[in-house]
């Protein structure tokens, strides 16, 4: 098998954007190049660890009586998540961190009347850039399922670490992926 290092990707730049709490009348992006609409707001700087995508699926093994041999392995529970840490403290990150809380902008900053997080399904966009190559993942329904510790320290910046769990849409999809990459394009020659 031949190796082609030009097919190795390193998405070293990009963005994470999210819709507002409770916003259900949004237009999802359908490609990797069109600017995001006003429905989406960027969370800002992401920590140097970038974005980690994880997929978990259980399988139920079915064994035959004869020989106790494996007869089938049926797919079971499936979970897709994206994890990242937002480095900026802004209206968007506070809205995600304190989902369902009352956040009020004032003349001097913001006040948060913090409540336990409510169910908060939002659309998310994760966009990676590797030179001229792009990867955009659109999650129609994602919810922060884990929030990391928020550390105040003289040794590091404060980050908001989240795990976004993906839910299926009406078409049964958890995400839509769009790539701009000549190596993946149709060969029209």
**Is 116 inside a domain boundary?**
yes
**Is 33 inside a domain boundary?**
no
**Is 37 inside a domain boundary?**
no
84, 105, 120, 160, 187 from 19: Cα distances, Å: 17, 18, 11, 17, 36
Residue 139 three-state SS: strand
> What's the pTM value of the predicted model, to 2 decimals?
0.90
CB atoms under 10 Å from CB of 101, counted, come to 17
Residues 17-43 have a mean pLDDT of 93
**Is 173 inside a domain boundary?**
yes
**Is 31 inside a domain boundary?**
no
Domain limits for position 163: 42-58+71-180
**Is 117 inside a domain boundary?**
yes
Phi and psi at 97, nearest 5°, equal -65, -40
Q: How far apart are CA 183 and CA 7, in angstroms?
A: 7
Helix-strand-coil split of the chain, %, nearest 5:
10, 45, 45
**Is 51 inside a domain boundary?**
yes
| 92-149 per-position pLDDT tens digit | 999 999 999 999 999 999 999 999 988 899 999 999 999 999 999 999 999 999 999 9
**Is 110 inside a domain boundary?**
yes
Total domains in the chain come to 1
| 64-84 per-position pLDDT tens digit | 999 899 999 999 899 999 999
């Amino acid at each position: 098998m031949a190796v082609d290092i030009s097919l190795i990707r390193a998405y070293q730049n990009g963005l994470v954007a999210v819709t507002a709490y409770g916003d259900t009348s949004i237009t999802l992006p359908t490609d990797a190049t069109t600017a995001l609409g006003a429905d989406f707001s960027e969370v800002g700087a992401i920590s140097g660890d970038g974005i980690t995508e994880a997929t978990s699926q259980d399988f139920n093994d079915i064994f035959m009586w004869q020989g106790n041999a494996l007869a089938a392995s049926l797919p079971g529970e499936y979970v897709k998540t994206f994890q990242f840490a937002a480095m900026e403290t802004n209206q968007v990150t506070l809205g995600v961190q304190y989902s369902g809380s009352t956040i009020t902008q004032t003349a001097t900053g913001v006040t948060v009347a913090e409540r336990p997080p409510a169910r908060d399904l939002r659309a998310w966009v994760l966009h990676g850039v590797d030179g001229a190559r792009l990867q955009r993942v659109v999650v129609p329904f994602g919810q922060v399922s884990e929030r990391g510790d928020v550390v105040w320290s003289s040794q590091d910046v404060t980050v908001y670490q989240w795990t976004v769990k993906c839910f299926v849409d009406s078409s049964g999809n958890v995400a839509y992926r769009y790539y701009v990459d000549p190596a993946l394009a149709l060969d029209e020659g």
